């Protein structure tokens, strides 16, 4: 006799986390789309200050951080939800919106947490393949919306393909989605896109009560280890619902303090974005120069083939990834993310990027 678990434990896929966390600093960690630099200035001191009161529970209303975000985005603080990472908001949104008989629509390949949302709730997942340009096919997604649809996710820029759609296309899509269906636009990487001003999509959340813009402090703000994400919602009821399904103290005190401080350093953030984009353009050119296919990148990572003409199978993919790891470079194999023979490589520091290119050149 063993413990009897809920049915969903058999359904839930294992999240394909990157390895390498126990390895030394000499590795170029290009597998998890993290920032290669530390937190913005002032964050260390803010965390030290918050530590002094760590015997207290964190503010369950996240009010200081919500007010800071409200000022930054000119958005009602009542319509801003906070999470222990934006993953926390995704999983809570699943719990709040989905159930057996309901449907969730998302593109594929896309972020590995989306399949969990259906599996955890018993809802039906409708995956719509990316188009030939590795981008969301919004017409095809629209065609999948039925009376059972509760949630549609558009990952913009998309993980793992790094492609983004212009705001006007997303805006036209939102216009056509029924008002009772939540449209969650996952903008974890929006700051790195050159297609539109990252603040421009706020207008969607102002005009449409069913829109939620999901963002994070894990990427451009370099705070992945602290876990803090946020949602700019079209309707306060989304925040209330995701708070209802969670434990009360879902965002720790250090994360709240760090995020609030990080928001004050927008100039530093802009400089980091510029550096990342400059590196991205250089890397794209180099990879194409090696004869590899590279999706049009708008995030802090690249989605690229590991050979030409689709000649890389699972074994060859593993050989290349292992060869890179021997050279102390970790990237993410495409097979685990939905496309064999491809890989997702995070933009690192200039030195890390050079090491990646030199190692890859020896292997492909």
Ligand X SMILES: Cc1ncc(COP(=O)(O)O)c(C=O)c1O
Residues contributing to the site for ligand X (CB under 6 A)? 33, 85-87, 111, 155, 159, 186, 188, 216, 218, 224, 229
Query: Strand 80-83 vs strand 182-186: parallel, antiparallel, or unpaired?
Result: unpaired
Which of 84/307 has CB closer to ligand X?
84
Please, where are the H alpha helices in the chain?
A: 8-11, 43-51, 63-73, 86-97, 114-121, 138-143, 167-176, 202-207, 236-244, 253-262, 266-289, 314-326, 350-363
Question: How far are the Cα atoms of 86, 185, 266, 340 from residue 228, in angstroms, in the given order?
Answer: 7, 17, 17, 31
Smallest separation (angstroms) from ligand X to the CB of 33: 5
Phi, psi at residue 342, to the nearest 5°? Answer: -120, 175
**Minimum CB distance to ligand X smaller for 28 or for 312:** 28
User: Minimum distance between the CB of residue 50 and ligand X, rounded to whole angstroms?
Assistant: 19
Output the CA angle 92-98-101, nearest 5 degrees.
165
In whole angstroms, the minimum distance from the beta carbon of 122 to ligand X comes to 22
Q: How far is the CB of 186 from ligand X (least distance, A)?
A: 5
Q: How far apart are CA 119 and CA 124, in angstroms?
A: 8
Helix (H) or strand (E) holding 153: strand 149-155
Rounded least distance, CB 30 to ligand X, Å: 13
Q: Which is nearer to ligand X, 186 or 352 (CB)?
A: 186
| Least distance between ligand X and beta carbon 287 (Å) | 21
Q: Considering beta carbons, is residue 186 or 260 the nearer one to ligand X?
A: 186
Please identify, using beta-carbon distances, which residue of 87 and 107 lies nearer to ligand X.
Answer: 87
Residue nearest to ligand X (CB): 85
Helix (H) or strand (E) holding 80: strand 80-83
- Would you say 159 or 353 has its CB closer to ligand X? 159
């Amino acid at each position: 006799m063993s413990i009897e678990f809920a049915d969903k434990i058999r359904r839930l896929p294992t999240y394909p986390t990157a390895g390498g966390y126990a390895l030394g600093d000499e590795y170029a960690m290009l597998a998890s789309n993290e920032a290669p630099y530390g937190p913005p200035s002032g964050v260390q001191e803010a965390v030290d200050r918050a530590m002094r009161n760590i015997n207290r529970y964190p503010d369950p209303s996240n009010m200081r951080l919500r007010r800071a975000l409200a000022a930054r985005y000119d958005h009602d603080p009542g319509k801003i939800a906070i999470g222990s990472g934006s993953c926390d908001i995704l999983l809570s949104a699943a719990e709040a919106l989905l159930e057996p008989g309901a449907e969730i629509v998302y593109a594929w390949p896309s972020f590995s947490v989306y399949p969990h949302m259906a599996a955890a709730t018993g809802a039906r997942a409708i995956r719509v393949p990316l188009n030939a340009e590795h981008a969301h096919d919004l017409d095809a997604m629209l065609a999948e919306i039925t009376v059972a649809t509760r949630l549609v996710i558009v990952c913009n820029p998309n993980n793992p393909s790094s492609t983004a759609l212009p705001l006007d296309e997303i805006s036209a899509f939102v216009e056509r989605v029924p008002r009772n269906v939540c449209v969650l636009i996952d903008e974890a990487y929006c700051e790195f896109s050159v297609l539109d001003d990252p603040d421009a999509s706020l207008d969607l959340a102002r005009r449409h009560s069913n829109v939620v813009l999901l963002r994070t402090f894990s990427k451009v703000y370099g705070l992945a280890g602290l876990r803090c994400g946020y949602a700019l919602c079209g309707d306060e009821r989304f925040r209330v619902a995701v708070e209802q399904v969670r434990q009360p103290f879902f965002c720790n005190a250090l994360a709240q303090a760090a995020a609030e401080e990080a928001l004050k350093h927008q100039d530093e953030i802009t400089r980091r974005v510029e550096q990342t984009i400059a590196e991205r353009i250089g890397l794209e050119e180099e990879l194409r120069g090696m004869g590899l296919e590279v999706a049009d990148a708008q995030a802090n990572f690249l989605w690229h083939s590991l050979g030409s003409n689709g000649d890389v199978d699972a074994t060859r993919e593993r050989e290349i990834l292992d060869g890179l790891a021997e050279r102390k470079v970790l990237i993410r194999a495409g097979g685990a993310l939905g496309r064999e023979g491809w890989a997702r490589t995070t933009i690192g520091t200039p030195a890390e990027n050079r090491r990646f290119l030199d190692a890859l050149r020896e292997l492909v």
